[in-house]
Chain A
């Protein structure tokens, strides 16, 4: 269903936060594309830069953070980074919308949910209060909220977690945006509700035809939803591939670690493997490969030379010197982070 013109093209996106002399390079040279109707997953641990990437797309980075000059974000042929304040506001919610992780805190406790959905309509159109309300009720019904008309008059605390997330989705989709950024949309929900919400997103995508950028730390969610996966680590893309290829042939040691850390249904009882250590601080990325302290393959080259994105297949890249020296896959050592006992992540 995805046609080939990219809807969004991000090139060398760098978002830095300044604190005195320290510079936190939270997003450090990220490039990717999203096509129309496509679902792309961004996977990574906390601190990998995935949420900052999402906020950067909508230019919601506040001082002391800033998107560095030279970064490019092109959306529907427009350069988002050169738009003035009014123009970017017209994009937000209308062409690109965002679904937040925690629906309780992302909904205003003192407004009814109908008001909150209608508000998005009123911000972007000249519709009357009543017409906007009707649109809101319609959208709430479309997200599968039963008795939407009555529910619309209720406050967030009167709804269940799953219902609240449906409201968030209604808010994001009411203007039929071309791109929806879903930042951990199911993390705060029960497993059964998670499945429902993912299915709902999928259905709505078929009905409305939007692209989805799905940000998550959960490879299971990605497997279910996405067509392509971008794995982020240390503010960079470390691997990118189609879902099928990534699960069949993950190349980057970090991606492999994430896979091993995923519980397998039906697999014999084994302790889940973890990746030793934690993501380093964005103010002090290690030289060379940013993952090397936690990597069981790391050798001296990894400390000296920052790995480029090595092309593997037509649409598969990995930021690891192993692609250059595949024989090294045979020599595993204990990662530095495990030896120094930095704990596990």
Chain B
């Protein structure tokens, strides 16, 4: 693939974000190997609790004497995989729904999109909380499903718009003129062209999901203790934030870092694929 100078510049700008995300993913994957302590162990709930950052505990310890660094590393596992898997659910649902609406057109399209409009009018957090509140203790997979299922509305609109636009393109008419059937046209001619937009939207979506999951876990509605996710680690230090700042600060920084990296990367991808600039 030949890149324009503009595209090379975008790639240069995006590489640091990729590195950041790769490091975070590496930490998550290798947490069992590199974490200095067991994240759930409470070695000395009296003597080792609430220790400020030190060489032995770079991120300090929490009120239960657990090592915050180890918890943050294991928390990355949960937070990132929830974000990734929920985004996969989102991409799947949004792509299927959007393609059907965009390709069917007419009254089907109108009805499907009004439904999406209605769902988008309700804040996502509210939707998630309604569903989550129905369970006593929420299994992790269900959290993933719930976050995924409430997140595909905007993606479906993007996909629908793209499918609609590509449906009118010459090469789609040409494929039809040469006898291809509708499913083939959709899967072979239209969707591969929409993939870039889906990637962009998914990347931006991961950032949102990280924050959403953290928020839910902070509220006690997401990942259930003693499991560590960035959100509930913040919660561990939240009621003593004035004195125990380190418990909340480090996971908070990581949430912000991940979300920013995803958003910057998503923006870069969008610029990269922008056809108005590619020419």
Chain A residues with a Cβ under 8 A of chain B: 58, 60, 63, 89-94, 97-98, 100, 102, 105-111, 119-120, 123-124, 168, 171-172
Contacts and interface: CB of A to CB of B under 8 A. Distances in A.
A120 B176 contact: no
B189 interface: yes
A345 to B, nearest CB: 25
Interface of B: 106, 169-171, 173-181, 184, 188-189, 192-193
A105 B170 contact: yes
A173 to B, nearest CB: 11
B169 to A, nearest CB: 7
Contacts of B171: 105-109
Given A106-B174, A111-B192, A92 B169 contact: no
List 7 A-B pairs, minimum CB-CB distance, nearest first.
Answer: A93-B178, A93-B179, A92-B179, A105-B170, A106-B170, A98-B177, A106-B174
A123 B193 contact: no
Contacts, number: 66
A63 B106 contact: yes
Interface of A is mostly: mixed
Contact of B178 (A63, A97, A109): A97
Contact of B179 (A102, A107, A123): A123
B200 to A, nearest CB: 16
A120 B177 contact: no
Given A92-B177, A119-B180, 19 more contacts: A63-B106, A90-B179, A92-B179, A93-B177, A93-B180, A97-B177, A97-B178, A98-B178, A100-B174, A107-B171, A108-B171, A108-B175, A108-B193, A111-B188, A111-B189, A119-B175, A123-B181, A168-B174, A171-B178
Contact of B176 (A92, A108, A109, A119): A92
Contacts of A110: 192-193
Contacts of A100: 170, 173-174, 177
Contacts of A108: 171, 175, 189, 192-193
- Give the one of B171, B176, B181, B192 with max A CB within 10 A: B171
A123 B182 CA distance: 12
Contacts of B179: 89-94, 120, 123-124
A97 B176 CA distance: 10
A42 B178 CA distance: 21
Contacts of B181: 89, 123
A308 to B, nearest CB: 33
Contacts of B193: 108-110
Contacts of A94: 179
B184 A123 contact: yes
A60 B173 contact: yes
15 contacts: A58-B177, A60-B173, A60-B176, A89-B179, A98-B178, A105-B170, A106-B170, A106-B174, A108-B189, A111-B189, A120-B178, A123-B178, A123-B184, A124-B179, A171-B174
A119 B173 contact: no
Contacts of A97: 177-178
A90 B181 CA distance: 10
A171 B189 CA distance: 15
B188 A119 contact: yes
